[in-house]
């Protein structure tokens, strides 16, 4: 049975005797016929043995097969997603240590603490930071205004830190988050006026979100290009929902933390999965994160 709608019949169908593609679904035949038509190869479609065959002239057969192979190869590469490589260890432990450190420092900084005004020496004051007291960009991440502020950052920080830890590992994730928070506060200090003050882990929390956006953007296939923008749009929505409300909200600190996280994330995605699975590497990252916080507070206390 011939497909009379095929224009190839008007171009001498008697010469089209070489089958180059067979399928039971006529939609596939039409799809491959369009590929060959785009390459300038005339075709003929016939029904045979309950299915369909796409015929070309013998002289065009080699060219037609190459075109179809290239098409299938390209189409297959677009549909293959990055394989799931498994969850990297340490995510839960990283979030637990985060909660312990933030909770402990907040307790020490409270009015019932040990008599040291940690907020005075640890708050990120723009004038102090730009004059060389860079450690305030880290110490400020561990201080909070009140219990509500603390609870919010414990909740979202541990949540995003846990999610990030599943991809990067508990140790690596948190050193990246600390760096993102530090850079976010540093950029904010230079952007704001000299008297601007900022405290809270939210800058680092948005840094974690930015890293997640960069990581998600890198892992989707070309076929799902539109999906690459999904985590970015989600990040912007969270930024507007969580970070642009209230008189005391430092919006620009959140924005800079988010931007720093994206930049760091694109660099961090180059770290191989094998390296991320290395426990010694994760321990090194986790210890480094703690040492950065300890060093910052040591410098702050020495300023008394």
In this structure, are residues 180 and 211 in contact, taking their beta carbons and an 8 Å threshold? yes
Strand partners, 45: 54
Which position has the higher pLDDT, 250 or 93? 93
* Long-range contacts formed by 152-155: CB under 8 A, 24+ apart: 152/202, 153/102, 153/200, 153/201, 153/202, 153/205, 154/99, 154/102, 154/103
Write the pLDDT tens digit of every residue in 50-88.
Answer: 678 888 888 888 888 888 888 877 776 554 444 455 567
C-beta neighbour count of 13 within 10 angstroms: 18
Confidence of residue 12 (pLDDT cuts 50, 70, 90): very low
The structure tokens 């050193």 sit at: 175
Per the structure block, which two tokens stand in for 121?
Answer: 């020496």
Q: Please tell me the distance from the alpha carbon of residue 182 to that of residue 200, in angstroms, as a whole number.
A: 11
**Which of 14-23, 121-130, 147-156, 231-240 shows the lowest per-residue confidence on average (mean pLDDT)?**
231-240
Query: In this predicted structure, what is the pLDDT of residue 185?
Result: 95
- 3 state SS of 44: strand
Write the pLDDT tens digit of every residue in 202-259.
Answer: 899 999 989 988 888 776 544 455 555 655 665 666 666 655 555 567 788 888 999 9
Which position has the higher pLDDT, 10 or 293? 293
Query: In this predicted structure, what is the pLDDT of residue 82?
Result: 45
Query: In this predicted structure, what is the pLDDT of residue 79?
Result: 45
CA atoms within 13 A on the CB side of 41: 27
| Domain boundaries 91-302, corresponding CATH code | 1.20.1540.10
- 3 state SS of 255: helix
Q: Please tell me the distance from the alpha carbon of residue 262 to that of residue 109, in angstroms, as a whole number.
A: 31
Q: Distances from the Cα of 288 to the Cαs of 39, 175, 178, 246, 294, in angstroms?
A: 58, 7, 10, 34, 10
- 3 state SS of 2: strand
Query: In this predicted structure, what is the pLDDT of residue 99?
Result: 95
| Domain boundaries 7-79, corresponding CATH code | 3.30.70.1530
Query: In this predicted structure, what is the pLDDT of residue 237?
Result: 65
C-beta neighbour count of 41 within 10 angstroms: 20
**How far is residue 50 CA from its own chain's centroid?**
48
Q: Phi and psi (nearest 5°) for 251? A: -60, -45
- Alpha helices of 59-201 — where are they, by DSSP H? 61-79, 91-109, 118-122, 126-130, 136-139, 147-168, 170-191
Per the structure block, which two tokens stand in for 146?
Answer: 């009140």
CA atoms within 13 A on the CB side of 113: 14
Report, as an integer, the average pLDDT of 90-111. 90
Confidence of residue 7 (pLDDT cuts 50, 70, 90): very low
Percentage, residues of the chain above pLDDT 70: 79
Q: Please tell me the distance from the alpha carbon of residue 143 to that of residue 198, in angstroms, as a whole number.
A: 9
Query: In this predicted structure, what is the pLDDT of residue 248?
Result: 62
Confidence of residue 26 (pLDDT cuts 50, 70, 90): confident
Start-to-end CA distance of the chain, whole Å, equals 94
Where along the chain do its domains lie?
7-79, 91-302
What's the whole-number average pLDDT of the chain? 82
């Amino acid at each position: 049975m011939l497909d009379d709608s095929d224009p190839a019949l008007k171009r001498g169908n008697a010469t089209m005797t070489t089958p180059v593609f067979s399928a039971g679904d006529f939609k596939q035949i039409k799809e491959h016929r369009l590929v060959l038509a785009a390459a300038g190869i005339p075709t003929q479609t016939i029904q045979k043995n309950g299915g369909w065959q796409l015929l070309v002239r013998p002289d065009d057969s080699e060219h037609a097969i190459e075109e179809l192979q290239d098409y299938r190869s390209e189409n297959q590469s677009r549909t293959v997603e990055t394989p799931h490589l498994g969850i990297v260890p340490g995510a839960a432990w990283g979030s637990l240590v985060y909660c312990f450190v933030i909770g402990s420092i907040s307790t020490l900084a409270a009015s019932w603490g040990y008599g040291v005004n940690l907020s005075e020496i640890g708050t990120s004051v723009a004038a102090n930071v730009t004059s060389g007291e860079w450690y305030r960009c880290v110490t400020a991440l561990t201080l909070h205004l009140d219990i509500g502020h603390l609870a919010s950052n414990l909740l979202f920080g541990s949540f995003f830190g846990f999610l990030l830890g599943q991809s990067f590992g508990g140790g690596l994730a948190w050193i990246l988050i600390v760096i993102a928070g530090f850079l976010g506060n540093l950029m904010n200090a230079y952007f704001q006026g000299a008297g601007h003050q900022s405290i809270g882990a939210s800058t680092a929390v948005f840094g974690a979100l930015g890293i997640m956006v960069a990581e998600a953007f890198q892992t989707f296939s070309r076929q799902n290009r539109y999906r690459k923008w999904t985590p970015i749009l989600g990040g912007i929505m969270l930024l507007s929902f969580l970070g642009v409300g209230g008189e005391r909200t430092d919006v620009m600190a959140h924005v800079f933390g988010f931007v720093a996280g994206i930049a760091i994330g694109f660099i961090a995605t180059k770290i191989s999965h094998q390296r991320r699975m290395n426990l010694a590497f994760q321990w090194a990252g986790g210890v480094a994160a703690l040492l950065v916080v300890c060093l910052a507070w040591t410098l702050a206390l020495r300023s008394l």
